[in-house]
Amino acid sequence: MEKLVKQTIEKYGSDPNRLMDMLIDTQEQFGYIGPEAVATLAHGLQLSQVDVEQTITFYHFLSTKPRGKYAIYLNNSAVAHMFGRDAIKDAFEREAGIRFGQVTEDGLIGLYDTACIGMNDQEPAAIINNKVFTRLTPYRVREIIRHMRLGKSLDELVNESYGDGRNQHPNLKTMVSSNIRRKGMILSDNYVMGKVLREVLPGISPEAVIAEIKHSHIRGRGGAGFPTGFKWEFCRKAKGEKHYVICNADEGEPGTFKDRVILTEKPELVFEGMALAGYAIGGDEGILYLRYEYRYMKDYLESVLQSMRFQQLLGTNIGGIEGFHFDIRIQFGAGAYVCGEESALLESLEGKRGEPRDKPPFPVEKGYLNQPTIINNVETFATAVRIVENGGEWFTQFGTEDSTGTKILSISGDCMFPGVYEVNWGFNVEDMLDMVGAYDVQAVQVGGPSGTLIGPDEFHRTLGYSDLSTGGSMIIFGKQRNLLRDVVLNFMEFFIDESCGSCSTCRNMPQVLRNKLVKILNGKGVKKDLTDLREWSKTLLASRCGLGQTAANPIVSSLKNFRHLYEELLQKDIEFDEGFDMKASVESSCKYVGRVPKFHH
Amino acid sequence: MSKPVIATTSLAGCFGCHMSILDIDERILQLIELVEFNKSPVDDIKTFTKPVDIGIIEGGCCNSENVEVLKSFRKNCRILISLGECAIMGGLPALRNGIPVEECIHEAYIGGPTVQLNKDHILPNDDELPMLLDKVYPCHEIVKIDYFLPGCPPRADLIWDALVALITGDPMKLPYEVIKFD
């Protein structure tokens, strides 16, 4: 083992900043990262063992204990539950003879829950040794486990046909579907790879590129909506030895999967956008930070990069421009929602725990390896290419005044046609529901768990930065759903699992709120609990990053828009009930000392 | 108007909060002018003899007696205040909350390195003794608490200001120095 780990260390130039790559390789090689591997890594990188361990234990897909020859990660998102996850989980447990969180005695199969894997439009879905299995049924689950026991290979476990579009590409060959249901400028078929790099860039300066981006008024597509042009300009002006371009493909917000589709169907567009950004800010190195859930795309995306290098769209003197060098490498996360936060992403890129940094300084000044860095969403880079190709002015004709251009929505839940829809900003929710064939809708979760839950009286609202802001996740809930139990509780569990634990507010308060919600769901709530939920949620705003600041949103927005659902569950005419049970609480101590409990009242 | 009546008690606490009450120094004379004490260690009245306006609780609940006393305070007092870390959060006693109560008892009476004399491994199980709870509970998880005064202990000035505010009905001043406790 030591020899193999040493080889891994060498493969990444003994650079401690590449610890994540080494850990992922080791995990895949051995199925876990044992004490021996930790010691070898620590020694080889001149780190303490604790440094290595703390990175391992931070990430969901890394483990210090064996995870099984086949590690099965079953998606745990609210939509997975809506589409029968419980039956799938049950089938896995019965057939494998173990519970989730365990490994079979022969070490063959491990079962694990995992947060949204970006397959909400084809649930229930699971990842088995980096291969995605979608639309699972109890029958298929039994079959898969039986085949594992028969010693079939991973590829032999698949008997589904490949998905649509490029999912059939020789380097991809996956059953995942893209489900593109509405195309706009980004998903359009009229994209010609390399046109911008070869034909447009030779004629304009980096400053002029930034000017076009600014003129387009495009704002970041990841959700926060920072003006992209300004970000690029700040970075260009920042002094540093090297400038970096980073594409944030850590698509972790439950219910969003549009980056998966863009990277599957239009990876060249994204990579061209990164090269374009490199030209604009004066950087020659780009990194695609891809979530580990999309590991199945690795070979495919590497092959796309390679073919772009052959066509001189990456590499040196790109597009014939003297001195314009740019290349891209892919680095993976290992299962941590918080790494979608840009400074946590940087920490992860540098081989550390993905804990957000204090700001300022912002990444445009001190980012990757403390150098000026831009971090943009997959969709932003793709859009930038179309802007520079057609001009900032052209772009402003799409969308609204404060939200220009198009937005790719990931739509899932109770509707006829879940999938990816590219629409102009300014679309209203009512039209969206009609577009996807959603009837008898009770609520829509706009922007994922960290966003807002709205009901029918707000369906007239429009998508845009000044009204309903969204990174693209749209989850539709029909009348048959129990919003508090199936949705809000699921989202709170998600935030509890994904908190990095750095701020005490985010580490503790979501649990307190969840417990109160459970209390209400169990019929033990009183009116004051609702006031507590509302007031206590505010303390989360003191958290360092967006995860903590929005972790109470499922409760805050459902309490605001669906208060009646809470009120119906409250105990009437009781002012106080914290559920303390004297009998139950003295039982264990009395039993241990050998006495019969006696009560005065 | 007759003087407001105050009662105090220390549950699973260290009496440090009561010390802090005494720490109001000569203002205690003023306090006696303003209020009347009922059940409290301050005047050693053991049982409630009349309805009380303000009940002050130090400490959380670690045993059945704590719970009964706390409930009797809730029954007899118009307003209840959780005073200090232990009443509000469980405090130091709550450090045992992560450990099964059986292990705690074993450590205290059988296995602990300072246990020398209990050769027969006798465990306290007389009916006269309070029964130990499975964990230490903050007061507001047992009864409704109206106000919380944080600190370990809360500073005398905070206690004084809170009592004066409650009695006079004036808003309470809470400058940073009075509520910081780290």
Q: Find the helix or strand (DSSP H, E) in which B8 lies.
A: strand B5-10
Q: Is residue B104 domain-resident?
A: no
**B124 assigned to some structural domain:** no
Pair A498, A440 in one domain: no
Q: Is residue A503 part of a domain?
A: yes
A263 and A336 in one domain?
yes
Q: Are A460 and A532 in a shared domain?
A: no
Other C-beta atoms lying within 10 Å of the C-beta of residue A325: 17
Please list the alpha-helical segments (H only) found in A478-599: 489-498, 504-521, 527-537, 546-550, 553-561, 563-567, 582-593
Indicate if A506 and A360 belong to the same structural domain.
no
Residues of B with Cβ-Cβ distance to A529 under 8 angstroms: none
Is residue A307 domain-shared with residue A421, that is, in the same domain? no
Same domain as A137, residue A102: yes
Residue B171 domain boundaries: 5-97+134-179
Tokens of B134: 């499975």
Q: List chain A residues with CB under 8 Å of B67.
A: 580, 582
Q: Residues B131, B66: contact at Cβ < 8 Å?
A: no
Residue B109 belongs to some domain of the structure: no
pLDDT computed for residue B178 by the predictor: 72
pLDDT of residue A277: 98
Q: What is the pLDDT of residues B101-128, one digit of tens each?
A: 999 999 999 999 999 889 899 999 999 9
Report CA dihedral (B67, B71, B74, B75) to the nearest 10 degrees: -170
Cβ contact (<8 Å) for B134 and A598? no
What is the predicted pLDDT for the residue at A283? Answer: 96
Tell which of A585, A596, A600 to mutate to test the B interface (max B CBs under 10 Å). A585
List chain A residues with pLDDT less than 50.
none
Residue to substitute from A512, A526, A592, A596, interface B, most B β-carbons within 10 A: A592
- Residue A417, domain CATH: 3.10.20.600
Q: Name the domain count of chain A.
A: 5
- Whether A83 is covered by a domain: the verdict is yes
In a domain, A583, yes or no: no
Is the CB of residue A585 less than 8 Å away from at least one CB of chain B?
yes
The verdict on whether omega for the bond into residue A510 sits within 30 degrees of 0, i.e. cis, is no
pLDDT of residue B1: 61
Nearest CA in chain A to B136: A585
| Predicted local confidence at residue A476, as pLDDT | 98
Among A58, A80, A99, the domain boundary falls at: A58
Are A510 and A261 spatial neighbours (Cβ–Cβ below 8 Å)?
no
CA distance A133 to A122: 9
In a domain, B115, yes or no: no
pLDDT score recorded for residue A71: 97
Query: Last residue of a domain, which of A481, A503, A519?
Result: A481
The answer to whether the beta carbons of residues A215 and A221 sit under 8 Å apart is: no
On whether both A364 and A417 belong to a single domain, the answer is no
All residues of chain B having their beta carbon less than 8 Å from the beta carbon of residue A585 are: 133-135, 137
Count of structural domains, chain B: 1
Distance of CA A390 to the CA centre of its chain: 31
Whole-number pLDDT of residue A153: 94
Residue B180: is its pLDDT beyond 90? no
Domain coverage including residue A52: 2-58
Quick check: is A299 in a domain?
yes
Closest partner CB to A597 (pick from B100, B131, B143): B131
Q: Are residues A231 and A354 in the same domain?
A: yes
Burial string for A496-535 (b: 16+ CB within 10 Å, else e) reads bebbbebbebbeebbeebbebbebbbeebbbeebbeebee
What ipTM was reported for this prediction?
0.92
Tokens for A92? Answer: 């896995």
- Position A223 scores a pLDDT of 81
**Domain end marker among A449, A481, A513:** A481
Nearest to A261 by CA among A98, A459, A420, A62: A420
The CATH number assigned to the domain holding B85 equals: 3.40.50.700
pLDDT 10s digits, B44-81: 999 999 999 999 999 999 999 999 999 999 999 999 99
Nearest chain A residue to B128 by CA: give it: A598
pLDDT-derived band of residue B26, with 50, 70 and 90 as boundaries? very high
Query: Residues A269, A328: one domain?
Result: yes
Q: Is residue A16 part of a domain?
A: yes
A282 and A366 assigned to the same domain = yes
Select the residue of A578, A590, A601 nearest B131 (Cβ to Cβ).
A590
Predicted confidence (pLDDT) at residue B182 exceeds the cutoff of 60:
no
Domain co-membership, A476 together with A498 = no
In a domain, A473, yes or no: yes
Query: Are A435 and A513 within one domain?
Result: no
**CATH of residue A130:** 3.40.30.10
